[in-house]
Structure 1
């Protein structure tokens, strides 16, 4: 626990100073887009910030990664008490350090962008939405098809 806390604090110190923490490149060298294959389930919540308003939302869904840089998914979204269902598809990248990006477009035409981080075995990932105005973070885990 102490090393996780220390690593987290060092990361914050580097972030505050503008310097990126150094990483051992051999630690995650096996990460490739093809390691993300299969169904993943997730839940997230957060806010959409517009002016001084914070509009809450929550979402639960399932992603299907094809292992080739493409994915599809569906979710139920509750925004400020109003629920809707969406389907989406998109593309992703994953570098050798297990860091990636994703761009998804849903059935209403909305496109969203994400940065994500994957465990070395590809079983779990965390991500944040990088579009302006969104404050959210998500944990996602692979489940059998």
Structure 2
């Protein structure tokens, strides 16, 4: 029963975060958002912490994973990070570097490559003060959503 409760709570939280992103960015016409936005690459600068969980689909199986980490954005379209990942009960540590784009509507894309050579892709949304962002992985077979918050040292 607890597993179902955690799954439901996680689903509700994810749906709520995605709903906030839709409400903030999906309702207004494109031109209205760009006229009032200050989003530029330099908006993402400093240290951010995050946690995410989800599934990797392989054949008919859903392989669960969870990850917690820290990223440091340089404000110029680049960032680095480190994380602990637990995939189906097996933990490992990774380091990675990445690049990102950010449009005037506070929407962006990111690409990371970790120390094992794995490359991942993401779509994200940033608050206009740059304090928080949400993202989903866009690679086939991954189901995950993440909330990230600035925590400067």
- TM normalised by structure 1 equals 0.84
Q: Secondary structure at the match of 1:71?
A: strand
What whole-Å deviation, never above 9, does each CA across 1:82-141 have from its counterpart, x for those lacking one? 000000001000000000000000000000000000000000000000000000000000
1:82 matched residue in structure 2: 90
2:141 matched residue in structure 1: 133
After TM superposition, which residue ranges in structure 1, 4 or more long, deviate above 3 angstroms?
none
Distance of aligned partners of 1:125 and 1:70 in 2 relative to their CA distance in 1, 3 Å threshold: same
Aligned residues: 132
Q: Confirm whether residue 110 of structure 1 aligns to residue 136 of structure 2.
A: no
What whole-Å deviation, never above 9, does each CA across 1:53-110 have from its counterpart, x for those lacking one? 0000000000000000000000000000000000000100000000000000000000
1:124 matched residue in structure 2: 132
Q: Which has the higher helix share?
A: 2
What whole-Å deviation, never above 9, does each CA across 1:36-67 have from its counterpart, x for those lacking one? 00000000000000121000000000000000
Q: Secondary structure at the match of 1:25?
A: helix
Q: Secondary structure at the match of 2:37?
A: coil
Structure 2 gaps, min length 5: 1-15
Distance of aligned partners of 1:83 and 1:30 in 2 relative to their CA distance in 1, 3 Å threshold: same
Match of 1:41 among 46, 49, 59: 49
- In the TM superposition, residue 144 of structure 1 has moved relative to its aligned partner by 1.4
Match of 2:29 among 22, 26, 47: 22
- Structural RMSD (CA): 2.2
Structure 1 gaps, min length 5: none
Contact 1:28 1:120 in 2 (8 A): no
